[in-house]
A and B are shown apart, each in its own frame.
Chain A
Amino acid sequence: MDYASVRNRLIRAAAKTKTPMVGAFELTPSCNLACKMCYVRESFPKKELSTAEWKTLILEAKNAGLLFCLFTGGEIFLRSDFQDIYEFTYDLGMRISLFTNGTLISDEVVNYLKKRKPDLVAITLYGINPHQYQEITGSAQAFSQVSSAIKRLKEAKITVVVRTIAVQTIYRHLDDVINYLKELHLPVSYSLYVGPKRSCLGSSNIERLNPEQLVIYQSQFKQAFGESLTIELSDCLESFRCLAGKSSYFIRWDGMMMPCAMLEYPSFMAKDDFARAWKKLNLAINNVPLCEGYEDCSVRSFCLQCPARRYLEGGFAQCSPYLKAIATLLKEGKQ
């Protein structure tokens, strides 16, 4: 059995015993890039958890069953104590994945990562040349920094996954982006959903694709790289089809436990009592309703809906016109 299959088997088993085996930790909301569509980045200082507070929380999470740990941001390598937190967590017996924009991965970073290898380093690619990076992130030089980081990590035999997101800048150069990704010879992970608003600014997200564009984007990526897999329960009548609140959770920069990165409700403070927050979250997800008409919906098997996306689109119980339009197009494409 390969590693991914073993991992998935363990996570599913954890959901049955309500064990919080998968945790994402947003170490900071700060970022050195300024992406047009970002829902995390804060332009004003926030009081993130301290090194000691993160270590205490991660130790409590380990005692509760954490095995698969994701460090994300913001940009994780902006934290001067990242190496300390990383090595502490690794030595507790955790398998760690890292989400990064790849601009701050120096030789020094690679040196300590290769001594305690993460499961993977996932780098989000915002373009395939300096011009596109300037357009979307506000930094042209970020492109060469990311390219160097990928090279360094590959040389150190650290698994790199390249992530892309469905935004206009990528869509305008879709064929070129796909060809570029193929030439990297790395696993590719692509996400389809981008929220309607930048939550920190409250403004409309001009970067997200319309339903027609999204279906083309999905089709091209699927053809080039196969399905971008997440663990979901089959077409079930539960609000949460994923494992959020069942065996996984997200801890925000301030220590608040949420079902996932996109969903701020229900949430509970985990900083002072991890086990209590998990128990509350595990119960609270049962109170999140399905969207109205879900049981009789003819396109539900094709819908990207989930509680987080419904919440961002207007409300847990509402059927989102945007998501329904995508589902309808996907179903028509299958017929």
Chain B
Amino acid sequence: MKVKQGFMLREIANNYVVVPVGKAAIDFNGIITLNQTGAFLWEQLQEEISLASLQQKLMAEYEVDEKTALADIKDFIDHLKTNNLLE
């Protein structure tokens, strides 16, 4: 899985926001705010990545157990799917 093209992650004033850029995100209008974990996952999803790899990367970056990492990732992926942000 991978996030769609046409978005930029920005860190401003200790906040992470994702904004559309270019013509690719023509149907999206607004911003997405992310916490630090969300921003990390968003960055990993710039390239095609499996759920298992994403889980391993999250566990390597943050001290979380397998179960928590998987639950967090699934929540995040659901959120992206709901907003039609995955390729």
Residue positions of A touching B, CB distance < 8 A:
3, 6-7, 10, 13-14, 16-17, 19, 21, 65, 67, 90-95, 114-117, 119, 159, 247
Please tell me if the beta carbons of A3 and B12 are within 8 angstroms of each other in the complex: no
B: contact size bracket: 10 to 19
Q: Closest Cβ of chain A: how far from B78's Cβ, in Å?
A: 18
Partner of B14, one of A6, A13, A92, A93: A13
Partner of A116, one of B8, B17, B23: B23
Please tell me if the beta carbons of B12 and A14 are within 8 angstroms of each other in the complex: yes
Interface string of B59-72 (1 = CB under 8 A from A): 00000000000000
What are 19 of the A-B contact pairs (CB < 8 Å)? Answer: A6-B33, A7-B31, A10-B13, A10-B33, A16-B13, A19-B12, A21-B12, A65-B13, A67-B10, A67-B31, A92-B21, A93-B19, A94-B19, A95-B30, A95-B31, A116-B22, A117-B26, A117-B29, A247-B13
The distance in angstroms between the C-alpha atoms of A114 and B10, with both chains bound, is: 23
| Closest A residue to B8 using CB positions | A93
Interface string of B1-36 (1 = CB under 8 A from A): 000000010101111010111110010011101000
| Closest B residue to A114 using CB positions | B26
Residues of B near A16 (CB, < 8 A) are: 13
Q: Closest Cβ of chain B: how far from A214's Cβ, in Å?
A: 35
Partner of A93, one of B13, B21, B29, B30: B21
Residue positions of B touching A, CB distance < 8 A:
8, 10, 12-15, 17, 19-23, 26, 29-31, 33
Please tell me if the beta carbons of B23 and A13 are within 8 angstroms of each other in the complex: no
Residues of B near A14 (CB, < 8 A) are: 12-13
Please tell me if the beta carbons of B21 and A10 are within 8 angstroms of each other in the complex: no
Please tell me if the beta carbons of B15 and A10 are within 8 angstroms of each other in the complex: yes
Residues of B near A21 (CB, < 8 A) are: 12-13
Please tell me if the beta carbons of A65 and B12 are within 8 angstroms of each other in the complex: yes
The distance in angstroms between the C-alpha atoms of A114 and B20, with both chains bound, is: 13
| Closest A residue to B32 using CB positions | A6
| Closest B residue to A7 using CB positions | B31
Please tell me if the beta carbons of B30 and A17 are within 8 angstroms of each other in the complex: no
| Closest B residue to A13 using CB positions | B13
Residues of B near A116 (CB, < 8 A) are: 20, 22-23
Apart from A6-B31, A117-B29: 15 A-B pairs, beta carbons within 8 A: A3-B31, A10-B15, A10-B33, A13-B13, A14-B12, A21-B13, A67-B19, A67-B31, A92-B21, A93-B19, A95-B31, A114-B26, A115-B23, A119-B30, A247-B13
Residues of B near A10 (CB, < 8 A) are: 12-13, 15, 17, 33
Please tell me if the beta carbons of B12 and A67 are within 8 angstroms of each other in the complex: yes
Please tell me if the beta carbons of A95 and B19 are within 8 angstroms of each other in the complex: yes
Residues of A near B12 (CB, < 8 A) are: 10, 14, 19, 21, 65, 67
The distance in angstroms between the C-alpha atoms of A145 and B8, with both chains bound, is: 36
Residues of A near B19 (CB, < 8 A) are: 67, 93-95
| Given contact pairs A6-B31, A67-B10, A93-B10, A13 touches B15 in the complex (Cβ within 8 A) | yes
Please tell me if the beta carbons of B22 and A91 are within 8 angstroms of each other in the complex: yes
The distance in angstroms between the C-alpha atoms of A92 and B19, with both chains bound, is: 9
Most A Cβ at <10 Å: residue of B12, B19, B22: B12
Q: Closest Cβ of chain B: how far from A92's Cβ, in Å?
A: 7
The distance in angstroms between the C-alpha atoms of A3 and B14, with both chains bound, is: 19
Q: Closest Cβ of chain A: how far from B46's Cβ, in Å?
A: 15
The distance in angstroms between the C-alpha atoms of A247 and B14, with both chains bound, is: 14
Q: Closest Cβ of chain A: how far from B19's Cβ, in Å?
A: 5
The distance in angstroms between the C-alpha atoms of A13 and B14, with both chains bound, is: 8
Residues of A near B10 (CB, < 8 A) are: 67, 93
Residues of B near A3 (CB, < 8 A) are: 30-31
Residues of B near A159 (CB, < 8 A) are: 29
The distance in angstroms between the C-alpha atoms of A90 and B7, with both chains bound, is: 11
Please tell me if the beta carbons of A90 and B21 are within 8 angstroms of each other in the complex: yes
